[in-house]
């Protein structure tokens, strides 16, 4: 299982937030450096082309050619945004999909009509203008502060031995360079994502329908589960309690040595066992402790009733959104159920964290290992449950153990 912070992080910001010291040995500072250098180079090249095309278009607009050049200037955001999406993967592994839809008809006119009617085209032009007027200049300034200024400070004592404090300052700035580069690269990438893929704007109508359908299914599932829990609690459970009481009253009217008295006692005992099973089922369908007290309390309650000793390390502050808490709870209970059924473990460790907009839950056991997600076990259903909320699951289970199940659910801080 990949456990180091760099490999689990999806963005430069996540790497910096998760392991502010350990990330220095990762590839993220180098990724950030390459991202900013390529930003300066791309900005310089694009500015030359943009200024040249715009100037030529304005000067020749009276003869008609200028209109085509001005149109080319407006569409220059398309290749620029494509390059930005490629560069973004340096500091954001998820990247951004191409938002443009194919033309409904072949030919340049249909292509041009489609592109000019898309809001993504004008967002990309906006990003290009922002980059040329601000972002690439900030990139150059951050790179200068990270390398040029420290180099000048460090070289100051060569000309003036009394200027050694400047050398110390230069050394400190150089040591801070990976942090400043990564911080600005993360901020720049976040801004680009906001412009290129603003929240609420879908890339594909089909993907939008799939996402909405999946959300509706999740809501319907939660509603149906709550209804089943309520019907079992108010219906079948109450009837079993009434039946148990009735059997007890009948036993009081019979002499104890009779055969019927013993049969009624056995029947009442079976009703009690069925009632206990039903209460356990109801508690699993919609645990009241999860609704009232949150995910940490629900996991502590589940661990206290688990047949294998569970050590808890849950550092979750405050309440999380109900869908996230429900998904996290049922994912953990499913993982624990797999431990009880298959692992032969004698110790389980449950770790929970909420950082960098991700709720991560890890279940580790010292069992026999060999768990296979593709083997048709409960791990497949667990992964499907997480996927509903765009979460993911990773499993490390070598033969002989130990087994680690890591579950991650997007959960931005509110």
Please choose, from the candidates 314, 414, 318, the residue with its C-alpha nearest in 3D space to the C-alpha of residue 362: 314
Render pLDDT for 33-67 as a digit per residue (tens, 0 to 9): 999 999 999 999 999 999 999 898 888 877 778 88
Could you identify the residue written with the tokens 């150089």? Answer: 174
Q: How far apart, in whole angstroms, are the C-alpha atoms of residue 254 and residue 238?
A: 25
Could you tell me where the DSSP H helices lie in 286-398? 288-293, 295-304, 322-338, 378-387
Would you call 25 exposed, middle or buried from its count of C-beta atoms within 10 A (0-12, 13-18, 19+)?
exposed
* Reported confidence tier of residue 117, pLDDT bands at 50, 70, 90: confident
Output 117 or 22, whichever has higher pLDDT: 117
> 76 with 49: CB under 8 angstroms?
yes
Q: How far apart, in whole angstroms, are the C-alpha atoms of residue 193 and residue 201?
A: 12
Output 346 or 170, whichever has higher pLDDT: 346
> 411 with 391: CB under 8 angstroms?
no
Whether residue 129 has pLDDT greater than 50: yes
Proportion of the chain above pLDDT 70, given as a percent: 82
Question: How big is the chain by its Cα radius of gyration, in Å?
Answer: 31
Give the model's pLDDT for residue 225.
Answer: 61
Whether residue 254 has pLDDT greater than 90: no
Output 24 or 228, whichever has higher pLDDT: 24
Phi/psi of residue 354, nearest 5 degrees: -130, 100
Angle 119-130/77-88 helices, nearest 10 degrees?
A: 70
Render pLDDT for 318-372 as a digit per residue (tens, 0 to 9): 788 888 888 888 888 888 888 888 888 889 999 998 876 788 899 999 988 887 7
What is the mean pLDDT of the segment spanning 395-414? 82
> What is the four-CA torsion angle of 230, 231, 237, 239, rounded to 10 degrees?
140
Q: How far apart, in whole angstroms, are the C-alpha atoms of residue 19 and residue 182?
A: 13
Please choose, from the candidates 100, 123, 99, the residue with its C-alpha nearest in 3D space to the C-alpha of residue 112: 100
Whether residue 259 has pLDDT greater than 80: no
What is the mean pLDDT of the segment spanning 91-106? 83
Provide the 10 A C-beta neighbour count for residue 184: 22
What is the mean pLDDT of the segment spanning 68-96? 89
Give the model's pLDDT for residue 2.
Answer: 41
Cα–Cα separations (whole angstroms), residue 130 to 70, 136, 195, 248: 18, 9, 10, 80
Q: How far apart, in whole angstroms, are the C-alpha atoms of residue 297 and residue 407?
A: 19
Structure tokens that stand for 199 in this block: 């929240």
Give the model's pLDDT for residue 284.
Answer: 57
Give the model's pLDDT for residue 235.
Answer: 65
Output 412 or 74, whichever has higher pLDDT: 74
Give the model's pLDDT for residue 400.
Answer: 85
Render pLDDT for 9-18 as a digit per residue (tens, 0 to 9): 678 877 887 7
Structure tokens that stand for 333 in this block: 């209970």
Task: Give Cβ neighbours of residue 399 (< 8 Å, ≥ 6 apart).
Answer: 368, 369, 370
Give the model's pLDDT for residue 170.
Answer: 81
Question: What does the mean pLDDT of the chain come to?
Answer: 80
Render pLDDT for 284-302 as a digit per residue (tens, 0 to 9): 566 777 877 888 888 898 8
**How much is the pTM?**
0.51
User: Can you spell out the DSSP letters for 340-360?
Assistant: IIII--S-EEEEEEEETTEEE
Give the model's pLDDT for residue 374.
Answer: 64
Render pLDDT for 176-230 as a digit per residue (tens, 0 to 9): 888 889 889 988 998 888 888 765 444 455 555 555 555 565 565 566 566 666 6
């Amino acid at each position: 299982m990949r456990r180091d912070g760099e490999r689990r992080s999806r963005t430069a910001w996540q790497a910096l937030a998760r392991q502010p010291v350990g990330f220095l040995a990762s590839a993220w500072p180098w990724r950030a450096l390459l991202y900013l250098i390529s930003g300066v180079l791309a900005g310089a090249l694009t500015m030359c082309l943009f200024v040249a095309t715009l100037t030529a278009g304005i000067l020749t607009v009276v003869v008609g050619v200028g209109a085509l050049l001005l149109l080319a200037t407006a569409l220059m955001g398309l290749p620029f945004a494509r390059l930005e999406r490629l560069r973004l993967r340096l500091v954001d592994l998820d990247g951004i999909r191409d938002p443009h839809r194919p033309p409904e008809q072949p030919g340049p006119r249909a292509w041009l009509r489609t592109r000019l009617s898309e809001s993504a085209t004008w967002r990309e032009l906006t990003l290009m203008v922002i980059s040329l007027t601000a972002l690439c200049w900030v990139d150059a300034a951050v790179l200068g502060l990270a390398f040029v200024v420290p180099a000048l400070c460090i070289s100051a004592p060569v000309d003036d031995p009394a200027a050694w404090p400047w050398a110390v300052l230069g050394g400190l700035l150089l040591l801070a360079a990976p942090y400043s580069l990564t911080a600005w690269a993360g901020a720049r990438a976040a801004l680009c994502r906001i412009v290129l893929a603003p929240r609420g704007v879908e890339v594909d109508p089909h993907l939008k329908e799939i996402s909405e359908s999946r959300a509706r299914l999740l809501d319907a599932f939660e509603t149906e589960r709550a209804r089943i829990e309520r019907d079992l609690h108010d219906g079948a459970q109450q009837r079993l309690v009434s039946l148990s009481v009735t059997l007890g009253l009948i036993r009081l009217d019979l002499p104890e040595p009779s055969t019927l008295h013993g049969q009624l006692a056995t029947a009442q005992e079976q009703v009690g066992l069925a009632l206990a099973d039903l209460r356990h089922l109801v508690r699993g369908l919609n645990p009241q402790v999860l609704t009232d007290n949150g995910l940490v309390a629900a996991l502590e309650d589940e661990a206290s009733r688990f047949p294998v000793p569970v050590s808890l390390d849950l550092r979750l502050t405050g309440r999380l959104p109900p869908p996230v808490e429900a998904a996290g709870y049922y994912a953990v209970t499913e993982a624990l159920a797999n431990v009880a059924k298959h692992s032969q473990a004698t110790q389980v460790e449950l770790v929970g964290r909420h950082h960098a907009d991700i709720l991560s839950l890890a279940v580790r056991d010292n069992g026999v290992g060999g768990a296979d997600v593709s083997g048709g076990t409960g791990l497949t259903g667990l992964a499907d449950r997480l996927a509903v909320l765009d979460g993911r699951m990773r499993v490390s289970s070598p033969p002989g153990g130990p087994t680690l199940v890591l579950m991650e659910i997007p959960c931005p801080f509110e």
